[in-house]
Structure 1
Amino acid sequence: MRYGIERRDVLKGVGTVGIAGLAGCIGGGGAGDGDGNGNGNGGDNGGGPDVINVIGYPQSGIQLFRDYYKNTDGSHDIIVPDGLLDADLPKEVSDDMQNVTGTAPAASGPNQDAFTQMYRDEYGSAPGVFTAHSYDAVAILILANAAAGANDGQKIRDQMRRVANPGGQEFGPENFVEAVEAAARGEDVNYQGASSVVDFNEKGDPASAAYDVWKFAPDTDAGSETIDTITFDGDAGGDMADSSPGGQDREIMVGILLPETGDLGSVGSQMIQAANLPVQQVNDAGTNVTVKSQVEDSQTTKQASLSGANALVSAGYPAICGPASSGNFIPVSKQVFTKQSIVGCSPSSTALTVTNLEDNDYVFRTAPSDLLQGQVMAQVAAKRLGGSTASTLFVNNSYGQQLSDKFSSSFTEEQGGEVLNKVSFNKGENSYTSVINKATDSN
């Protein structure tokens, strides 16, 4: 389904009418539970919250959900974002987790099918969360470099919107090599992606976005199944160069800074695979333009992300895909990208803070802002799950705090619900029983 919402208005905080208009579209509203399926809890939790919004990452999520199912009757409806979309989570938790509903930025671009087939052919499995966004991020960095004709961060920055936004010949993953050749000749290119059309707005965010509503499905290839998709449209904009000089017989350099280990290691491996695909496409084609890449493991930590970014910059990389999480992307953007004139494009950093960074236009992302995801989760919690009360249980960093706040404000102000508790937790704890007890408390 498609909703004509101006993203620029949503970002200014005046698009709530559009979000509220999703009522009745994210599920049909069945008797007593609000989801059309007759299986919602609708407040049957002994005075605790109807819905718990859990925000975190898979590695910590394993222990958190183990403790949840051990110490409660598992009767709460739980709503989670993309950070907990991990096919192995139910197996690790030893529960089918069917009381969990999630939202995640969708791969709904015009060339989604072409990318999916390409990924399956290369790796023999279905792509996962943020894999399309990872492919698109690297593809655009390569195209902007080809159009700039130099491994120069400022020149690449000025070409980012020229190769992504409307105005040139349209290309996608299926004919990506042709797009690189055209950009290297100085021709105008309009990349049409797998995750979205990949038009950037004036802040470097995707101008258009889509979200999947999903459930864990352990018996399927992907480990989850999409039960709805919500699409938002917005306007492209922002500064860019007046022309593309291009350049032949040269080597394009693009760094990849994504998590092979740590809290996001389980999903980061697929993101890295997707990020490598456009590099392989160009190098396998035997054109007069080649791509040199280097992967650094961000380890889902701030220090490793900064170290990896500095290693890539020292090696001469003028543009970097990543880091993945907002807690890592924001410090790298401030301390490396902006200060050293390096273009950074994250495929999965979604924190609201990214939009308003003073970044001199060096920071981009192919994943949409949590401003929308918080609203979507609140809508699903109220309308599909039938909740009138909620608590949030969130990882204690900028990603968790901001998304918890956005969910809470949307749930109360737009959905008329009540938030009972907002509880933070730290990554890597041996037990989460105490924070779970606080989140499920009725007081």
Structure 2
Amino acid sequence: MARDIERRAFLKRAGAAGVLGTVGLSGCVGGGGEGGEGESGGSDSTETESGGSTEMSSGSSGPEGVVVIGYPESGIQLFRDYYSQSDGSEEILVPDGLRDGAMPGQVGNEMANVTGTAPAAGGPSQEAFNSLFQDEYGESPGVFTSQSYDSVAIQILANAAAGENDGTAVRDQMRRIANPEGTTVTPDNLIEGVEAAANGEDVNYQGASSATNFDENGDPASAAYAIWEFEDGGTSQVNVQNFEGANPEGSGSAADSGPGGTDREVSVGILLPETGDLASVGQPMIQAAQLPAMQVNEANPAGISVNAQTEDTQTSPSAGVSAGESLISAGVPSVCGTASSGVNVPTSQQVFIPNEVVGCSPSSTALSVSNLDDDDYIFRTAPSDFLQGRVMAQVMAERLEVSSVSTLFVNNDYGQQLSDRFTSVFTEEYDGEVVETVGFNKGASSYSSAIETALSGN
């Protein structure tokens, strides 16, 4: 593992103490409850506190690797504290919630020992979407943008097939237009697909993020995951691997046919973070979510137009619920959102489900979403952490060749459940050792105590 040896040597030469003190929090917005995932309660298993910064190596008693599950705002301070306490010899593995290319600059370290996993754009229409996004916005699409596009495209097609702005009618068409059979629809021919759906024809949307076949929980039946690293002020994708569930063509209830309807306005909501802890990833997601509506409104197929209404979750559960209620008051039958499980769960429970409105999140991944008593109104174009926990265990054991780990996770459903899933697969299927599982609270001034526990195994 020459790459690992070289990067560890760099960290030991550079040291952490000389560069950490001068880096500010510029670019990081405070507050909130979302990250690549989000906040939904959870008890404080470890209280973080300010403490010393005595440098320590993992040594023979500590873990070879650490899984860190959290968000950029807290992650900046957590990694500052980590590099002030460790020589950086541990392999660090993080999920999508910490995929923020600005973090190394804010932390004051290249973070060369950090590897990440994230749901990727691995669908049959990935290149078509990439070109569409690049042409419209003049930049490459980011994390969860393909899932955002797919969420809105599916909702528009389902609404066109339903022939009315009614949540139950749209719900019943979601699998019918996403799962086989029917004429193949992609971002390239979305206009023809909307016209066909409005005319009552069968269509099969093949997405940018995946084949977008929904299983019985409303989750993707297959998904791609990227392996990434921090590099040159951003993140570099190392590899993409596709994973399939037990039934990759999907399953679950759906309408047998669609009545369709022409010369009408389709209504859809977009409920994503413009501000707060997820603003850096939320804004490109909003851009991607707006693209299908822009395509339809430019072409006006079968007299169909789209009214896409956008609200800001502010990366806060309470603000997300309030913004969701605003969309319901405006009469939307379906919503692309929210971005995190910490906002998605309460918004689904308090807004979408009781009002019989479809919610289709492009980035909420916690296992608790699959377990909602939702009467089939809640869908996702992002895969569940049930799959990501397996992917992370495989990467840690096989790619990084680590046999002992500790996990550091944010104290909410997302952090706890992903840590539990990783731990289960890593120990049972890869015969790995989990030294410590340590929860931490968002917004603490120091994470030294949690890091010391994770690295020392005490």
* TM-score above 0.5: yes
Identity score, percent: 60
Cα distance in structure 1, aligned partners of 2:407 and 2:277? 20
Amino acid at match of 1:168: G
Amino acid at match of 2:128: A
Name 1:407's counterpart in structure 2.
422
Cα distance in structure 2, aligned partners of 1:198 and 1:227? 21
Task: Tell whether 2:316 aligns with 1:301.
Answer: yes
Match of 1:71 among 73, 85, 105: 85
Contact 1:183 1:246 in 2 (8 A): yes
Contact 1:137 1:347 in 2 (8 A): yes
Match of 1:429 among 430, 436, 444: 444
Name 1:231's counterpart in structure 2.
243
Q: RMSD across aligned C-alpha pairs, in angstroms?
A: 1.6
Cα distance in structure 2, aligned partners of 1:69 and 1:216? 15
Cα distance in structure 2, aligned partners of 1:144 and 1:89? 39
Question: Which stretch of structure 1 is more off in the superposition, 257-266 or 229-238?
Answer: 229-238
Report deviation, 1:76.
1.2
Name 1:177's counterpart in structure 2.
191
Contact 2:99 2:235 in 1 (8 A): no
Contact 1:217 1:225 in 2 (8 A): no
Match of 1:281 among 295, 311, 316: 295
Name 1:325's counterpart in structure 2.
340
Name 1:3's counterpart in structure 2.
none
Amino acid at match of 2:188: E
Three-state SS of the structure 2 residue aligned to 1:393 is: strand
Task: Tell whether 2:151 aligns with 1:137.
Answer: yes
Cα distance in structure 2, aligned partners of 1:60 and 1:439? 17
Name 1:22's counterpart in structure 2.
none
Contact 2:91 2:400 in 1 (8 A): yes
Task: Tell whether 2:306 aligns with 1:258.
Answer: no
Three-state SS of the structure 2 residue aligned to 1:367 is: coil
Contact 2:222 2:242 in 1 (8 A): no
Deviation per residue, 1:283-326 (Å, 9 max, x gap): 11233111001111112211011011111001111100111111
Contact 1:137 1:366 in 2 (8 A): yes
Contact 1:215 1:227 in 2 (8 A): no
Amino acid at match of 1:411: F
Report deviation, 1:70.
2.3
Three-state SS of the structure 2 residue aligned to 1:340 is: coil
Contact 2:58 2:86 in 1 (8 A): no
Amino acid at match of 1:378: A
Task: Tell whether 2:409 aligns with 1:397.
Answer: no
Cα distance in structure 2, aligned partners of 1:245 and 1:389? 56
Name 1:26's counterpart in structure 2.
none
Cα distance in structure 2, aligned partners of 1:427 and 1:122? 36
Report deviation, 1:117.
1.0
Match of 1:313 among 322, 328, 347: 328
Amino acid at match of 2:222: S
Contact 1:394 1:404 in 2 (8 A): yes
Task: Tell whether 2:179 aligns with 1:165.
Answer: yes
Report deviation, 1:226.
2.6
Amino acid at match of 1:307: S
Report deviation, 1:154.
0.3
Task: Tell whether 2:453 aligns with 1:438.
Answer: yes
Cα distance in structure 1, aligned partners of 2:197 and 2:104? 45
Contact 2:409 2:439 in 1 (8 A): yes
Name 2:356's counterpart in structure 1.
341
Q: Which runs of 5+ in 1 are unaligned?
A: 1-29
Normalising by structure 2, we get a TM-score of: 0.86
Contact 1:109 1:195 in 2 (8 A): yes
Cα distance in structure 1, aligned partners of 2:171 and 2:299? 26
Report deviation, 1:430.
2.0
Contact 2:173 2:254 in 1 (8 A): yes
Cα distance in structure 2, aligned partners of 1:94 and 1:379? 29
Cα distance in structure 2, aligned partners of 1:260 and 1:61? 20
Deviation per residue, 1:125-177 (Å, 9 max, x gap): 11111110000001101111111010000000000011100011001011111
Cα distance in structure 2, aligned partners of 1:139 and 1:322? 13
Three-state SS of the structure 2 residue aligned to 1:223 is: strand
Three-state SS of the structure 1 residue aligned to 2:83 is: helix
Contact 2:358 2:377 in 1 (8 A): yes
Name 1:16's counterpart in structure 2.
none
The number of residue pairs the alignment matches comes to: 406
Cα distance in structure 2, aligned partners of 1:228 and 1:346? 22
Match of 2:71 among 52, 57, 61: 57
Question: Which stretch of structure 1 is more off in the superposition, 87-96 or 400-409?
Answer: 87-96
Cα distance in structure 1, aligned partners of 2:456 and 2:439? 14
Contact 1:282 1:291 in 2 (8 A): yes
Cα distance in structure 1, aligned partners of 2:273 and 2:74? 15
Contact 2:265 2:306 in 1 (8 A): yes
Amino acid at match of 1:231: F
Cα distance in structure 2, aligned partners of 1:297 and 1:440? 38
Cα distance in structure 2, aligned partners of 1:37 and 1:400? 27
Deviation per residue, 1:359-395 (Å, 9 max, x gap): 0000000011111111111111111112111111111
Pair 307,218 (structure 1): closer, same or farther in 2 beyond 3 Å:
same
Name 1:361's counterpart in structure 2.
376
Match of 1:417 among 413, 419, 432: 432
Three-state SS of the structure 2 residue aligned to 1:109 is: coil
Amino acid at match of 1:429: A
Cα distance in structure 1, aligned partners of 2:5 and 2:72? 29
Three-state SS of the structure 2 residue aligned to 1:339 is: coil
Cα distance in structure 1, aligned partners of 2:251 and 2:288? 27
Cα distance in structure 1, aligned partners of 2:349 and 2:456? 39
Cα distance in structure 2, aligned partners of 1:118 and 1:345? 22
Cα distance in structure 1, aligned partners of 2:141 and 2:213? 22
Deviation per residue, 1:204-239 (Å, 9 max, x gap): 1111112111111225xx632233424325241111
Report deviation, 1:39.
6.0
Cα distance in structure 2, aligned partners of 1:430 and 1:183? 53
Cα distance in structure 2, aligned partners of 1:254 and 1:89? 34
Deviation per residue, 1:30-54 (Å, 9 max, x gap): 59xxxx966698xx82121111100
Q: Which runs of 5+ in 2 are unaligned?
A: 9-56
Name 1:203's counterpart in structure 2.
217
Cα distance in structure 1, aligned partners of 2:337 and 2:101? 22
Cα distance in structure 2, aligned partners of 1:76 and 1:123? 39
Amino acid at match of 2:149: Y
